Amino acid sequence: MKNSTNPLVVIILGGFLSLLPEISGAAIDKASWLADAGRTLLGSADIRAACYWHETWVQYRRDADLKINSSPVSLRAYQAYASDSRVHDQVYVSSHQIIEPEPGAVYHCAYPGFVENHREVITSQKITHFEALAGKKLAWIYFSDDWSNGIDFPAEAVRTISDHGAIPFIRLMAWSHYQIKGKDPRFSMQTIIDGQHDRDLVQWAEAAAVTNQPIIVEFGVEVNGDWFPWNGRFNGSGETTGYGDPLLYDGPERFKDAYRHIVRLFRTNGATNVSWAFHVNAVSVPDEKWNQMHHYYPGDDFVDWIGVSIYGPVNKRDPDQYLFSEIWEYIKEELRSISATKPIAVFEFGVGEPLKRISAKRCVL
């Protein structure tokens, strides 16, 4: 995030802490936010894919429904975007690598709401349900590979998505528990660099290679946000004397080296069918010089796609009343500066609609 002379407001948004210059104005309704997002996605010269986060959030006393069918008017707004011929439901593939669509077009992608009782269950029924709501099939489908129970290739989930005709997009979640706060006791950037997880990672890579089909993998979702343990805050932060190059910040440098280590392992063990994604949040938290998104970039030799998370307000009481287009304008130059050649995607986007009442059984954390 660039320095600003405006006052700052910090809010917790569905598990994602956002930091943006404070602005005044009327509350933004969900349908208007979605319509603005659609115009921006199709009007941008940079964005090549967009993945909607279709889920109900009940967090931090900010109940909200991000699902595209949270209201009839919100559903119509999303359908209007998805129905455009420039929103593609099939990806271009060359030598098992995902190729960006033509300028002005975007791939239609989503996380279709796989969570059940705090764990993801990937089913064709949930995928089909989302596609029926949207009125368009999905080009790639986003889900998490949770390491809390070990590092194992999610073969069944990959098969389900591939059989559906979409590309699996897998988030490698290097944590011991999904509610971990702060430094993880088992997985750190240093333990990855030191090779302590190599045996499991090699088996994962070999299993991915055996599928002989395109897969997208990201390591370090929203790395510039300190709600995840791979953020630099927990791996050396802004120090420069504890690891590696004394001219680089230790936290981001460790992340880059861990990312490169994983990519090298995969390539060495035949997983050349994997396209690699680098994923940042729209704003950096904490908003410190060492934590800016470009410090984490592993380099063009290790990354195929660059992506960002952009979320709108959870509800009308939320102080974070920004349109998608306003957030995009705020961050696009910084994203462009990361690489001159790699395609840019919105790996996560969503906006909330307030819930009148929700059962604890439906709680998603």
Residue 138 is given by DSSP the state -
Q: Strand, helix or coil at 279?
A: strand
Architecture of the domain delimited by 113-346: Alpha-Beta Barrel (3.20)
Residue 62: predicted pLDDT: 58
Sorted by where each begins, the domain ranges of the chain are: 113-346
Amino acid at 322: Y
- Distance (Å) of CA 3 to CA 19, 107, 283: 11, 33, 11
Stretch 294-309: mean pLDDT: 98
* pLDDT tens digits, one per residue of 127-166: 999 999 999 999 999 999 999 989 999 999 999 999 999 9
* pLDDT tens digits, one per residue of 160-193: 999 999 999 999 999 999 878 899 999 999 999 9
pLDDT tier, 269 (very low <50, low <70, confident <90, very high otherwise): very high
Read off φ and ψ for residue 154, nearest 5 degrees.
-80, 70
* pLDDT tens digits, one per residue of 1-45: 233 322 222 233 333 333 344 433 456 789 999 999 999 999 999
If phi > 0 it is left, if psi is from -120 to 50 it is alpha, else beta; for residue 95 that is left
Q: Are 170 and 143 in contact (CB under 8 A)?
A: yes
Residues 6+ apart with CB under 8 A from 261: 192, 193, 195
